[in-house]
Amino acid sequence: MRFALIGQPNCGKSTLFNQVAGYKAETGNFSGTTVTYTESKVRVAGEVVELVDLPGTYSLAGTNPAERETFHYLASHQVDVVINVIDATHLQQGLNLTLELAELNRPMILALNMMDEAAHLGLKIDGAKLRDVFSTPVLPLIASKGRGVRNVFLSALEIGKSQKIPMRPAYSLDIEEAIQSLVSSLNGREESLELEPLAIKLLEGDEILIAQVQQDVPGLSDRVLSIQQRLEQLHGQTPAWIISGERHRLAANLAHRVVEQGERSITWRDRLDNVLLHPLWGYVFLVIILLILFEAIYGLGSTLEEQLIGVFNVFNLRLTTLSGSNTLLIELFIGILQGIAGGVAIVLPYLLPFLIGLGFLEDVGYLPRVAFLMDALMHRIGLHGKAVVPFILGYGCNVPAVMSTRMLEERRERFLAAALATLVPCAARLAVVFGLVAFYLGPRLALGIYLFNLFVIALTGRILTKLMPEDTPGLILEIPVYRMPTLKNVLLKAWFRAREFIVEAWPILILGSAVLALLNYLQITSFFNILIRPITWILGLPEQVGIPLIFGILRKELSLIMLRQALGVTNFATALSPVQMVTFTVFVVFYIPCLATLAVLKRELGWREMILIALLTVLIAMLAALAARGIGMLVTAT
């Protein structure tokens, strides 16, 4: 038997799935984070049931991929029971989808989730009345606390065995006539969908479906068109609009009948937005919250990294002394070890805490609020509020930053956000800024580099926006109520995202490391110095920095580590002038994102875009470093 979980975004559907299935789906407060469906086997009263978590969708109209996928799945797969999860605090909204699902003639149960929150809001919901309207079980649920989960599945099992079909509330007379008229022209046709639901979808003008059915029933599309036109003449609106308008009214009436608004207890959530979305305090708290996040991650990360790298270094040293000579095998092995160490040094100390922190902010519902606060600023660089997330993430690691551009709808926005996010100095680049500029020239200059970086990003954004004008009307985003996230969900989501890094980017890091070790062994790395010479010459840097810059593509902090070796000094001040230090650091901050980031760019956007962004960053790095050199020379001259 197969159960399908269907509900609107943020209804807690994936939370329910995670309660029973474990580690496969991810849940979130950003509308529609579950982009593909996830399946799992679940044991219900001794029976094994297939449970599928379909993407959160507001309707089955097919206007976006989530809707299309959900409808397609229901139409083509054998689903025995539809478990419709509804956010009880937004019953009217949820019933829109329920009405649409009831039309599919599939056994269905309703799970009213977040009953605890509804109670807080003083909402009393008459489940029995709702059950009578749809003639299907209605069950209370608090998925986040695991309450009611068992009953939902037991009830689904029962309905699955009896194959009881829910009732569909009737439309107005014209529409019902049109549906019946279409049903008669479809008669005799074998379909995975039954005729009436099929007729409704055809009437709504589902083009893919019309084309499919047209193959079996010649003349169908003309017939659909003539019925549609007649209705349009009668009502002045397309049937799709009449139908969804009627559903909307039905849902409103129904909600009115079953929900009673009692005394609403004013909770901390009502007051929280007065502060967190305040025109002044909202931004103060935004800065504080982000600072705390970065402090925690950087503090935790750098301690962990030191320990981990220490272990690897000891290992390295042992290996070289043990072998005595530098054979190819040993060099390769050390290269691979370096790659593994790189991954460990990025993932465990920085990426994981970062993803956990981000998942927490996301599930609490704070991230959409950041988007709200930052929308005006983001528009100046051609993006809207949602794109603020990649930027925040970028300061930790560019890899999750690029991955997070997925939540943006338009391709143009994804490209722009990814390109700009790779310019954000990640934790590894922070190490270079601190190790070189802050250490030798003072923290104020390091801060200056960060401000300069923001300026360059803003400027780049403006220029790119001129080249690729914005064509969407702007931000449309649901701001969900604050919720206390569960540790399980936050950890699962962090793991889910970290896994993408481990699978996609890490192997490339290891491979690249091995290749560089090979080149090192063959003693052709000095070739890099010649290759990079045009750049180092223009920037007034010593020829030897070529190798550190190339190695920096592997892992940005290697630029600093290798620099010591390349220059043959322990104190950088003896080999580099202050202007050279600043120029070098500015170049490192901007040029080509690290190999792991490149790998993710390729996957998220494609080869062409990856190369384009890499070239763009080199160009920006050149210009920015030249500017830094120019300013530095002016300052030192006076």
Partner 1 sequence: MELISVGIGKWVRVVGIHGGKDLENKLRQLGLVPGDCARILRQAPLGGPFLIEVSGRSIAVGRRVASLIEVEDSECVSL
Amino acid at 133: V
Q: Quick one: which of 461, 449, 429, 446 has its CA closest to 558?
A: 429
Residue whose CB is less far from partner 1, 190 or 263: 263
The least distance separating partner 1 from the CB of residue 59, rounded to whole angstroms, comes to 7
The least distance separating partner 1 from the CB of residue 477, rounded to whole angstroms, comes to 5
Q: Residue 65 class from Cβ within 10 Å (0-12 exposed, 13-18 middle, 19+ buried)?
A: middle
Q: Which two tokens stand for residue 550?
A: 């190339």
Residue whose CB is less far from partner 1, 276 or 541: 276
Residue 188's region, left for phi above 0, alpha for psi from -120 to 50, else beta, is: left
β-strand 123-125 against 259-261: which pairing, if any? antiparallel
CB 586 within 8 A of CB 436: no
CB 553 within 8 A of CB 427: no
Residue whose CB is less far from partner 1, 461 or 480: 480
The least distance separating partner 1 from the CB of residue 478, rounded to whole angstroms, comes to 6
Q: Quick one: which of 394, 403, 402, 369 has its CA closest to 475?
A: 369
The least distance separating partner 1 from the CB of residue 479, rounded to whole angstroms, comes to 4
Q: Quick one: which of 451, 457, 346, 344 has its CA closest to 396?
A: 346
Residue whose CB is less far from partner 1, 91 or 352: 91
Residue whose CB is less far from partner 1, 219 or 474: 474
Q: Quick one: which of 450, 459, 451, 456 has its CA closest to 432?
A: 450
The least distance separating partner 1 from the CB of residue 400, rounded to whole angstroms, comes to 24
Residue whose CB is less far from partner 1, 75 or 251: 251
The least distance separating partner 1 from the CB of residue 535, rounded to whole angstroms, comes to 39
Residue whose CB is less far from partner 1, 218 or 279: 279
The least distance separating partner 1 from the CB of residue 341, rounded to whole angstroms, comes to 43
Q: Residue 525 class from Cβ within 10 Å (0-12 exposed, 13-18 middle, 19+ buried)?
A: middle
The least distance separating partner 1 from the CB of residue 368, rounded to whole angstroms, comes to 7
Residue whose CB is less far from partner 1, 276 or 510: 276
Residue whose CB is less far from partner 1, 31 or 38: 31
**What single DSSP character describes residue 191?**
-
CB 418 within 8 A of CB 402: yes
The least distance separating partner 1 from the CB of residue 268, rounded to whole angstroms, comes to 16
The least distance separating partner 1 from the CB of residue 130, rounded to whole angstroms, comes to 16
Residue whose CB is less far from partner 1, 168 or 247: 247
List residues near partner 1 by CB under 8 A.
Answer: 58-59, 61, 63, 89-90, 92-93, 244-245, 248-249, 255-256, 259, 261, 273, 277, 279, 368, 371-373, 375-377, 379, 384-385, 473-481
One-letter-per-residue 3-state SS of 311-371: HHHHHHHHHHHHHCCCCHHHHHHHHHHHHHHHHHHHHHHHHHHHHHHHHHHHHHCHHHHHH
The residue assigned the tokens 């809001």 is 121
Buried b (16+ CB within 10 A) or exposed e, 259-290: beeeeeeeeeeeebbeebbeeeebeebbeeee
CA 46 to chain centroid, in Å, comes to 36
CA 333 to chain centroid, in Å, comes to 36
State whether the Cα torsion 580-586-587-593 is positive or negative.
positive
**What single DSSP character describes residue 55?**
P
